[in-house]
Amino acid sequence: MKRQSPLATGLLYIILGILFVALAIDNVERSGWNWLSYFIIFLATIDLGSGIRFIMLHYRLKRLQKNNKQS
């Protein structure tokens, strides 16, 4: 089984986060701020934060591999 890169995983989480933000905006426009709206925003926050962390991890690993090849 091939390992998925942190960049691909990060982009997937970012896309999911954006989707949850769009769903939350739609939910707020239809029914106002209720518990479901807050929950969807919470999920979007977790996904966007995880996506950013995975993308940062990708670039850190890339930088470490570059430094190891130079040594």
C-beta of residue 52 within 8 angstroms of C-beta of residue 18:
no
Residues of the chain below pLDDT 50: none
Amino acid found at 21? V
Residue 1: per-residue pLDDT: 66
Residue 37 lies in a domain: yes
Residue 71: per-residue pLDDT: 65
Q: How many domains does the chain have?
A: 1
Alpha carbon 18 to chain centroid distance? 8
Q: Is the pTM of this model over 0.75?
A: yes
Domain of residue 15, residue span = 6-70
Residue 1 lies in a domain: no
Residue 25 lies in a domain: yes
